[in-house]
């Protein structure tokens, strides 16, 4: 388990001042400092990142968030903002001595604005709760991923989360039409009108979206919903390899309403069928499995069949249009993450690649890992439609950063990014220069020093230490 390094300043005295301050200024029950109660906030979902919190503040509204942030600024104790603690890059758990600012209690969901098909939600509302609220109004929040029951909207906005539907609907950024955020001095910037055209001044909310809690604490968002699609079909294809998956994707783009094209390789399918006692989805094994989904206003089954028959290479397919049938087909893909966590501490990578580079990246990463880590188990899955691969490596010491550099360098060499949707956090900050220029990183530093000059928000996340820039 990688423990966060101790922050440079001695925070024990400052932490005591902070705790005393917050005891006075927050409602009772809003501050936890009993070590027994802190544990769940201190370790991430993979078990790879952990630290010890000075305390956990659990405000229930933006004003209390502002109070907590101002107290941290006053006492010099850094903070880490936490939603559902489903982050995967060590960005949502404390370094030793930090305050965890849990926004889970800001879980309110407003009424749907039926004129604009928009919805105001608190940062602590879970994705699943918001999806249900939208469905109750005959609408849809077209963003989804397997951690929906725990992941919060605030965390998803802070990381500009992607998920399976980004292929057609874009990432979280495209859903946000209003934002409220608390900045490092405790001031609250609120733009929740939801105007689709509003270019009055700099777009401060746009800078905070995707900043992973390093520029502000997001307390609320206004989300753009879409009308529900009356017809949905999920099809699970077997193809020989990732080149076959790209041929399939090209064909599926002709089908109206294509919104997702996820994949899993043969080791993934074998593992999830074995550990979750699932029947093989197709009569014979394939090198790669693609789970595609279309949501349309009319039945597109025939269009899908036509495109499936047009493929240049061998393939097989099983499809479903009913809710339970579609869930069964998605289960192979959705159960993968918990299955992999059940095997030990997975080293998880989330790279984005130009589509054409995916097969050569896949070949290169397999060869390099086999040569440097012959005993490692490798599982590759993700969202082939938007070039986002999740490379999961098991049976390697979680402290061994050699794997991180090998995978991330390989992605950069293939013209890709070291983070497509999970973010940089603490895990990848050393590698940012692999895919961002020095000028780009300098601009990021200017933004950080302008909005958080004292480094109150999440120090050490996203931006490399100056001496680390050489990677």
Nearer to ligand S2G, 348 or 414 (CB): 348
Nearer to ligand S2G, 348 or 428 (CB): 348
DSSP secondary structure of 147-216: TTTT-BHHHHHHTT---TTHHHH--HHHHEEEEEEE-TTS-EEEE-S--S---SS--HHHHHTTSTTSS-
Nearer to ligand S2G, 222 or 390 (CB): 390
Nearer to ligand S2G, 26 or 143 (CB): 143
Among 85, 118, 337, 339, indicate the residue that binds ligand S2G (CB under 6 A): 337
Query: Smallest distance from the beta carbon of 364 to ligand S2G, in angstroms?
Result: 21
Among 390, 429, 436, 461, indicate the residue that binds ligand S2G (CB under 6 A): 390
Q: Does residue 335 belong to the site contacting ligand S2G (CB under 6 A)? A: no
d(CA 233, CA 320): 6
Comparing C-alpha atoms, which of 237, 235, 240 is closest to residue 313? 240
Contact 417, 388 (CB under 8 A): no
d(CA 232, CA 58): 40
d(CA 364, CA 351): 14
Contact 408, 349 (CB under 8 A): yes
Q: Does residue 146 belong to the site contacting ligand S2G (CB under 6 A)? A: yes
Ramachandran class of 382: left when φ > 0, alpha when ψ lies in -120 to 50, beta otherwise: left
Nearer to ligand S2G, 169 or 348 (CB): 348
Binding mask 402-441 for ligand S2G (x = CB under 6 A): -------------------x--------------------
Query: Smallest distance from the beta carbon of 442 to ligand S2G, in angstroms?
Result: 30
Q: Does residue 48 belong to the site contacting ligand S2G (CB under 6 A)? A: no
Query: Smallest distance from the beta carbon of 426 to ligand S2G, in angstroms?
Result: 17
Contact 111, 122 (CB under 8 A): no
Query: Smallest distance from the beta carbon of 51 to ligand S2G, in angstroms?
Result: 20
Burial annotation 234-248 (CB, 10 A radius, 16+ → b, else e): bbbbbbebbbbbbbb
d(CA 83, CA 107): 10
Nearer to ligand S2G, 33 or 404 (CB): 404
Among 88, 242, 391, 408, indicate the residue that binds ligand S2G (CB under 6 A): 88
Query: Smallest distance from the beta carbon of 266 to ligand S2G, in angstroms?
Result: 17
Nearer to ligand S2G, 121 or 336 (CB): 336
* CA of residue 396 relative to chain centroid, distance: 23
Binding interface with ligand S2G (CB under 6 A): 88, 145-146, 337, 348, 382, 390, 421
């Amino acid at each position: 388990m990688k423990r966060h390094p101790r922050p440079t300043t001695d925070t024990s005295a400052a932490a005591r001042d902070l705790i005393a301050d917050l005891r006075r200024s927050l409602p009772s029950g809003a501050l936890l400092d009993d070590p027994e109660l802190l544990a769940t906030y201190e370790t991430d979902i993979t078990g790879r990142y952990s630290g010890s919190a000075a305390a956990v503040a659990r405000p229930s509204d933006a004003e209390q968030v502002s109070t907590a942030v101002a107290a941290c600024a006053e006492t010099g104790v850094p903070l880490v903002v936490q939603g559902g603690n489903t982050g995967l890059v060590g960005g949502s758990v404390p370094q030793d001595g930090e305050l965890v600012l849990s926004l889970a209690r800001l879980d309110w969901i407003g009424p749907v604005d039926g004129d604009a098909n928009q919805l105001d939600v608190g940062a602590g509302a879970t994705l699943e709760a918001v999806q249900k609220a939208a469905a109750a109004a005959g609408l849809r929040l077209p963003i989804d991923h397997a951690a929906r029951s725990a992941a919060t909207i605030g965390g998803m906005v802070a990381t500009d989360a992607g998920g399976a539907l980004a292929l057609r609907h874009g990432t979280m950024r495209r859903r946000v039409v209003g934002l409220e955020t608390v900045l490092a001095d405790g001031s609250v910037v609120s733009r929740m009108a939801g105007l689709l055209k509003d270019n009055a001044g700099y777009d401060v909310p746009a800078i905070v979206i995707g900043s992973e809690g390093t520029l502000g604490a997001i307390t609320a968002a206004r989300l753009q919903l879409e009308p529900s699609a009356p017809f949905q079909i999920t099809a699970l294809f077997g193809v020989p390899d990732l080149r076959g998956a790209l041929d399939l994707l090209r064909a599926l783009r002709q089908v109206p309403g294509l919104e997702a094209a996820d994949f899993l390789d043969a080791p993934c399918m074998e593992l999830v069928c074995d550990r979750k006692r699932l029947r093989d989805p197709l009569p014979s094994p394939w090198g790669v499995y693609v789970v595609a989904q279309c949501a349309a206003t009319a039945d597109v089954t025939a269009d899908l069949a036509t495109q499936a028959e047009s493929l240049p290479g061998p393939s097989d397919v099983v499809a479903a249009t009913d809710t339970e049938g579609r869930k069964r087909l998605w289960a192979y893909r959705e159960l993968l993450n918990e299955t992999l966590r059940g095997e030990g501490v997975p080293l998880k990578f989330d790279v984005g690649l130009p589509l054409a580079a995916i097969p050569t990246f896949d070949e290169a990463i397999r060869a390099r890992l086999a040569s440097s880590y012959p005993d490692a188990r490798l599982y590759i899955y993700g969202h082939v439609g938007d070039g986002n691969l999740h490379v999961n490596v098991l049976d390697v010491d979680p402290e061994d950063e050699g794997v991180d550099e090998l995978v991330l360098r390989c992605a950069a060499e293939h013209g890709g990014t070291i983070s497509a949707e999970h973010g940089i956090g603490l895990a990848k900050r050393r590698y940012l220069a692999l895919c961002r220029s020095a000028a780009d990183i300098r601009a990021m530093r200017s933004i950080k020093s302008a909005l958080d000059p004292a480094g109150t928000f999440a120090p050490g996340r996203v931006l490399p230490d100056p001496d680390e820039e050489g990677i």
